[in-house]
């Protein structure tokens, strides 16, 4: 379900690793070890280079995304494995905006692919659903929308102050994400695609999304495509997730609906994501954040990061390794080898040891 377009990275893959802040530093090393273990069997050459970009560096040196970083990543790496950014000592979130949004925008990673797949029936809060019922892909537009930082303050710090945050939608940007979603559905022979917006209230942006959707869907008559307003989608996805194979939506709605979908399959601790520009250096990160409430306790769930590294390996065309990673997570779930967020009693390190032992036996 999470198959992604391939980059022709050749036989050796170079991966930049940015653990970031909080639990990003705890779960990313687990994902790296699992990738190494999965790759070892068939002697796939992997090279990891770690970068310490995040809150500590920002607070120490005032540096967020260092000069030349984007070009270096684009030219020297096949993919980026990213943990999470966010630290209570940086309330402005400036470093996350510069590094995470900066890389999404500057590498033009317009596809944010966020698959939800129920890997074990114990972990859904819904009644009477089977594994096949919760398997969907959210495609989130990842380079524009309300995230672009267009806006400003007027009369700031006065009783009359105004804050403006613009929602920027280009025809090119809307078309390429909608087309990507249709191509994905066609490639996987998935029948149902839903475009979601708020065109009843956000009339200009919504009108553009509606018109582009109408023209692109005409090229894919074999796909049963429909539109839902985002509020209705949020309700329907919980009422009956069987309706959805592929969802495509804008940046903000995709952020929200992917957390919602993740919870149907066990929560943020299990949710992977890929930020892709097909054929170019792309960035892979779990959906969750830096979780300051549990950071440093050694109990962060590494499954989201490990499944994310599976998406990365699929992106490299290493499908068997990706499957081995997913199977290791499935096995841990079925053996109740989980961290407290999944009602388990194990630590990150114990889960990591289990996964690596499983991969050594099965990869």
How many C-beta atoms lie closer than 10 Å to residue 75's C-beta?
8
Site string for ligand NAD, 21-40 (x = CB under 6 A): --x---x-------------
For residues 1 and 188, give the distance between their C-alpha atoms in angstroms, rounded to a whole number.
Answer: 8
Q: What backbone phi and psi angles, to 5 degrees, belong to 21?
A: -120, 165
Interface characters, 67-106, with ligand NAD (x: CB under 6 A) = -----------------xxx------x--x---x------
Q: Mutual orientation of helices 230-239 and 251-264 as an angle, nearest 10°?
A: 10
Specify the length of the chain in residues: 363
CB of 92 to ligand NAD, least distance (A): 11
Out of 26, 141, 144, 255, the only residue in the binding site for ligand IPM (CB under 6 A) is: 255
Strand pairing category for 272-276 and 282-286: antiparallel
Residues facing 114 on adjacent strands: 138
Which tokens is 55 given? 């809150």
Angle at 163 between CA 161 and CA 167, to 5 degrees: 165
Is residue 294 near ligand NAD by the rule CB under 6 A?
A: yes
Does residue 268 touch ligand NAD according to CB under 6 A? yes
- When CB distances are held under 5 to 8 angstroms depending on the partner's kind, the choice from Mn ion, ligand NAD, ligand IPM, none that residue 363 binds is none
* Minimum CB distance to ligand NAD smaller for 86 or for 173: 86
Interface with ligand IPM (CB under 6 A), residue from 96, 119, 257, 307 = 96
145 forms part of the interface with ligand NAD (CB under 6 A):
no
CB atoms within 10 A of CB 3: 16
Site string for Mn ion, 239-278 (x = CB under 5 A): ----------------x-----------------------
- 86 touches 21 (CB < 8 A): yes
Run of H or E residues at 184: helix 171-188
> Using the rule CB under 6 A, is 293 a contact of ligand NAD?
yes
Q: Does 306 interact with ligand NAD (rule: CB under 6 A)?
A: no
Task: State in angstroms the smallest separation of the CB of 26 from Mn ion.
Answer: 19
Q: At what angle do helices 24-40 and 303-315 cross, to 10 degrees?
A: 50
Positions touching ligand NAD (CB under 6 A) are 23, 27, 84-86, 93, 96, 100, 268-269, 285, 288-294, 300-301, 304, 339, 341
């Amino acid at each position: 379900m999470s198959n992604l377009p391939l980059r022709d990275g050749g036989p050796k893959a170079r991966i930049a690793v940015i653990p970031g802040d909080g639990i990003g530093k705890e779960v990313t090393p687990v994902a790296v070890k699992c990738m190494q273990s999965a790759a070892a069997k068939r002697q796939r050459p992997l090279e990891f280079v770690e970068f310490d970009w995040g809150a500590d560096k920002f607070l120490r040196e005032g540096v967020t995304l260092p000069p030349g970083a984007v070009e270096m990543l684009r030219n020297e790496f096949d993919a980026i494995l990213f943990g999470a950014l966010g630290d209570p000592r940086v309330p402005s979130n400036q470093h996350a905006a510069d590094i995470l949004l900066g890389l999404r925008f500057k590498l033009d990673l317009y596809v944010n692919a966020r698959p939800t797949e129920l890997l074990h029936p114990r972990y859904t809060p819904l009644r009477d659903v089977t594994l096949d019922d919760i398997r969907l892909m959210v495609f989130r537009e990842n380079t524009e929308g309300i995230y672009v930082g267009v806006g400003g303050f007027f009369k700031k710090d006065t009783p009359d102050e105004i804050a403006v945050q613009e929602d920027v939608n280009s025809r090119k940007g809307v078309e390429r994400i909608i087309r990507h979603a249709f191509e994905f559905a066609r490639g996987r022979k998935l029948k149902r695609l839903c475009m979601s917006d708020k065109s009843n209230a956000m009339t200009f942006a919504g009108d553009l999304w509606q018109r582009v959707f109408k023209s692109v869907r005409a090229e894919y008559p074999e796909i049963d495509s429909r539109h839902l307003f985002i509020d209705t989608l949020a309700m329907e996805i919980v009422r009956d997730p069987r309706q959805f194979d592929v969802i495509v939506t804008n940046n903000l709605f995709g952020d929200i609906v992917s957390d919602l979908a993740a919870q149907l399959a066990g929560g943020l601790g299990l949710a992977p994501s890929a930020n892709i520009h097909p054929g170019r250096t792309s960035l892979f990160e779990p959906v969750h954040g830096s979780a300051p409430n549990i950071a440093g306790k050694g109990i962060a769930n590494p499954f989201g990061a490990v499944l994310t590294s599976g998406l990365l390996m699929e992106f490299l065309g290493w499908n068997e390794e990706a499957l081995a990673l997913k199977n290791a997570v499935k096995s841990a779930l079925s053996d109740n080898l989980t961290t407290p967020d999944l009602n388990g009693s194990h630590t990150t390190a114990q889960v990591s040891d289990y996964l690596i032992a499983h991969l050594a036996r099965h990869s």
